[in-house]
Amino acid sequence: MLRHLRLILALPMALAILSAARSQEQTPIPTLVAPTLAPQEAAANPIEGPPQESAVADIINSGVFRVGALYNEPPYSQLTLQGDLRGFDIDLLRLIAETWESEIEFIQVTRENALDQLRHGRAHTVASAFVHYRHLDDQLEFSQSYLLGPQEMMVRADSPYQSPSELTGQPVGYVIGTRSETALSLWSARQGASVNPQFFLNLDRAFAALARGAIEGLVAERQDLLLVAADYADRVRTLDEALLLEPRAFAIKKRDIALRQLISHSIQLLAREGRLQKLYQDYFPQAEQSIDAITLWAGIGEAISPSQYAGALRHPSRYMIDELRRSGIVRVGGITDEGQSPSVSQAQLDALNLALVHELGRRWAVSVELVSSSGDEALGLLTSGEVDIVAGLTPDWRLATSIDFSAPYLLHGDRLMAPANSPIRGFNDLRGRIIGLIIGDEGARDRAQAWADSINASVRFFQTREGDAALQLLDFNNANAIYADSLLLASHLQASPNALRLTDRWYSRSYIAFGLPYNDLDFRLLVNYTIQELARDGTLERLSGALILGDELPDFEITPGAASHAGINLAGA
């Protein structure tokens, strides 16, 4: 998930008149290739069953990764004047194929035929033609998102408005049949704010209306707004608050978990190595961006090959949403029995997990059945079908061929805790000083030593029990700072908020998520969208209160769409 990336999207004028709910079209720009046909949501196909073989098998057998791409979607995929195919998506996919040591073949698709190209195996994945909205989940599956594009509002430079909500009742323009129409509709529904929408056939006409005062605001993706206003930059401005952030991901055939995991794993490897960040800088040099917003799982490894995901494509013997409707019960593992937690931090995490699964059950209108288990035992129960969900797991690629993982619901990682009046801001200030370590925080000494070595700093270490960490800093002066996982520091910071503080830097980032049955896509989406709704309405922050140290919630990516899935209302009310 990336913060406020500024993207450039454009589509042919011929698409302009389709309704937004059925469209993935954008503002037209000149193109040297045949225009991409208007996006159409394909009718549901009840006859088509899940794939019996992953596209990974064909990639291995042929040595070729076939990618469907639009040829007129800058800056993502565009045929240049020189006849070269280039763009952010194109370069990212080339890096992925290079990582696999596979050849890559690009196939021109349109929004009208892209879905069929996937269904019939002519393309293994599709780039640029789809942005991940919830209504597309009936037809497609998506990789991990690799960036977010903001739909924003432009106003005149002298406008009094500072946020979209201030334009309630005012005339606001959009291009009919584009995702901007959808963004405005979803924003209005979420905010309960009703503007006076005015549609236009193209962005040039809409911008002219804004310039002459016929409308007070104009909604489009930010880079489209900047492009159309390039010659009048001093006369307009965009509001800081985005109406919607659109997740960009690669589309694949539904329920092909092996290919989804292979592509997502590769995106994370490229992010960890810094090559994805380099692409951002090449294509969006002026954009605000944070590579930390991409969730990195444990166990990424040093190399990725399609052979890691080879083998028969397995499907569940039962699908959980059907099972929830039949039994009215969700069975949960991974939560320690009340009173049995070995430490304060584990007790707090168990309390969060317990509250969270009960909130899931409430929103799904099912009862929660706790199956006492932890660690490998809980994983075994999940793979054998004896529990439906396991709480409190770290997403790990080493488990990705046996279970699935939800989106994360808690962020934690290595931090430095120091007295509030201490001058210590990082390892530079710990030269020749003592770093406290918490007994049981496995590997913390090696990680702290590595950071010290990276700046040639000599440090000493002192070990303490978790419950005594604050005393060592404040009363006994046995350490100048404590280096530990933030979960181990939370209770001390809450108990002494005026005496202790964290330094700004994260020295590592880890995530906590739910373990889920392998390849049960609809259940994974149900869990993910419920987590998103919990984040959106503030419930997750309230439940996580004991473990949040300012910014420890993940930077949640919200997939645009209704607050429901598979007919289940996910809203809190």
pLDDT class of 24 with cuts at 50, 70, 90: very low
Query: Which of 194, 214, 245 finishes a domain?
Result: 245
pLDDT in tens, 43-101: 444 446 788 899 999 999 999 999 999 998 888 999 998 989 999 999 999 999 999 99
272 lies in the same domain as 365: no
As a whole number of Å, the end-to-end CA separation of the chain is: 27
What's the average model confidence in pLDDT over 492-510? 94
Q: How far apart, in Å, are the Cα atoms of 567 and each of 98, 218, 345?
A: 41, 33, 37
**Do β-strands 568-569 and 410-412 pair in parallel, antiparallel, or remain unpaired?**
unpaired
The residue with greater pLDDT, 287 or 423, is 423
Burial of 282 (0-12, 13-18, 19+ CB in 10 A): exposed
425 lies in the same domain as 559: no
pLDDT in tens, 123-132: 999 998 899 9
What residue has token string 């083998």? Answer: 311
CATH number at residue 491: 3.40.190.10
Whether the Cβ atoms of residue 352 and residue 410 lie closer than 8 Å to each other: yes
Rounded to two decimals, the pTM is 0.88
Please provide the DSSP assignment of 232-257 as one string. Answer: GGGGEEE-SS-SEEEEE--EEETT-H
pLDDT in tens, 166-205: 999 999 999 998 999 999 999 998 888 889 999 999 999 9
Of 443, 444, 439, residue with least CA distance to 415: 444
Percent residues over pLDDT 90 in the chain: 77
526 lies in the same domain as 387: yes
**CB-based contacts of 245, cutoff 8 Å, min separation 6:** 4, 148, 149, 150, 151, 557, 558
- What average pLDDT does the structure give for the chain? 89
With the CA atoms of 531, 536, 538 and 539 taken in that order, what torsion angle do they form, in degrees rounded to the nearest 10? -30
Whether the Cβ atoms of residue 571 and residue 533 lie closer than 8 Å to each other: yes
pLDDT in tens, 366-415: 999 999 888 899 999 999 999 999 999 999 999 999 999 999 999 999 99
334 lies in the same domain as 460: no
Give CA–CA dist 182/344, Å, rounded.
46
109 lies in the same domain as 161: no
Q: Is the pLDDT of residue 556 over 90?
A: no
Q: Is the pLDDT of residue 226 over 90?
A: no
Give CA–CA dist 435/286, Å, rounded.
39
49 lies in the same domain as 142: yes
Of 42, 44, 34, 38, residue with least CA distance to 17: 38
277 DSSP assignment: H
Report the domain count for the chain. Answer: 4
Q: Is the pLDDT of residue 37 over 60?
A: no
How many residues would you count in the chain?
573
pLDDT in tens, 306-345: 999 998 899 999 999 999 999 999 999 999 776 667 788 9
Residue 200 forms part of a structural domain: yes
Query: Which of 502, 526, 546 finishes a domain?
Result: 502
514 lies in the same domain as 405: yes
Q: How far apart, in Å, are the Cα atoms of 70 and each of 18, 85, 129, 322?
A: 19, 10, 6, 37
Q: Is the pLDDT of residue 417 over 80?
A: yes
Give CA–CA dist 353/368, Å, rounded.
12
Cα 521 → chain centroid: 16
pLDDT class of 291 with cuts at 50, 70, 90: low
What residue has token string 């797991």? Answer: 393
443 lies in the same domain as 356: no
Q: Is the pLDDT of residue 7 over 80?
A: no
Residue 26 forms part of a structural domain: no
483 lies in the same domain as 546: no
Range of the domain at 51: 31-146+249-306
63 lies in the same domain as 207: no
465 lies in the same domain as 400: no
Give CA–CA dist 569/201, Å, rounded.
35
Percent residues over pLDDT 70 in the chain: 89
Query: Which of 194, 229, 245 finishes a domain?
Result: 245
Burial of 271 (0-12, 13-18, 19+ CB in 10 A): buried
φ and ψ at residue 399, rounded to 5 degrees:
-110, 0
pLDDT in tens, 143-169: 999 998 889 999 999 999 999 999 999
Residue 312 forms part of a structural domain: no
Residue 314 forms part of a structural domain: no
pLDDT in tens, 475-487: 999 999 999 999 9
